[in-house]
Amino acid sequence: MKIPPVSIRYLRSILELKDAPPDQGCEVAFAGRSNAGKSSAINTLANVGGLARVSKTPGRTRMINFFSIDDGRRLVDLPGYGYAKVPGEIHRRWEAALEQYLRYRQSLRGVFLLMDVRHPFTEMDEVMIEWCALRSIALHVVLTKSDKLSRGAAMNTRLMAKTRLAGYGSPDFSVQLFSSLKKSGTEEAWEVLGRWLDLPREDQEKTPGA
Ligand code: GDP
């Protein structure tokens, strides 16, 4: 599937769902443990230098960051989990926001769950997968930093992940390898994004954001 070039811009960061952009159109959310390579992946996919810095701005790593592709389509950067040292009150607030977001957001078309290919399926990853399975939310697992493994080892992990996801019995669960460093896996990821966000197809080969 060829996707026409898109330009992605930062919209806003929120702590509570009530402050989110209007719940219209469609959006895809990116989730994952902190350090999984989420900002790098969003940046690579957006192909816009500096975009990921937004989600790395101090204070914003625990917020939900919205990016717009166009009037009706958004990418959403969910807070990375695994911040052990966050004070209790703040931790509760963002966990609640995350859960609220997944539960009530009508425009959510699916979740990209990013996992370091060397450390997939952490406890919180499993919780996310279960949430998606329970609520019939489409899920695409992105195994990041695939350049860190040999091709054979990376393919084995992908196969293991595929088998594990199949165990949930959801037709909308899929998995791929990805490397921001090598820029590999971007087409496959955009194919899923394009399908979920109903992006118009284009015949000529162009990279989104180029
Ligand atoms: P986030 O916390 O999930 O947003 O993770 P980041 O995108 O900040 O990445 C965490 C660390 O992993 C950084 O040191 C990145 O340079 C590194 N990283 C991210 N993607 C890749 C990748 O594709 N390959 C390699 N080798 N390192 C990566």
| 182 CA distance to ligand 1 middle (Å) | 12
The protein residue whose alpha carbon is closest to atom 25 in ligand 1 is: 145
pTM of the model: 0.90
The residue range of the domain holding 138 is: 9-204
pLDDT score for 59: 59
Residue 209 resides in a domain: no
pLDDT, greater one: 161 or 58: 161
Would you state the torsion angle of the CA atoms of residues 66, 194, 41, 153, taken in this order, to the nearest 10 degrees? 150
In a domain, 76, yes or no: yes
What does the pLDDT read at residue 88? Answer: 72
Q: What is the DSSP secondary-structure string of 139-199?
A: EEEEEE-GGGS-HHHHHHHHHHHHHHHHTTT-TTEEEEE-BTTTTBSHHHHHHHHHHHTTP
Q: How far is the CA of 156 from the centre of ligand 1 (A)?
A: 21
Q: For the chain, list the strands marked E by DSSP.
A: 9-14, 26-32, 64-70, 73-77, 108-116, 138-144, 173-177
Examine residue 170 and state whether it is found in any structural domain, yes or no. yes
pLDDT of 4 higher than 80 = no
Query: Average pLDDT of the chain?
Result: 86
pLDDT value of position 6: 73
Please tell me the total count of domains within the chain.
Answer: 1
Per-residue pLDDT, 210:
45
With a 6 A CB cut-off, is 36 part of the ligand 1 pocket? Answer: yes
Residue 54 lies in a domain: yes
Ligand 1 binding pocket includes 199 (Cβ within 6 Å): no
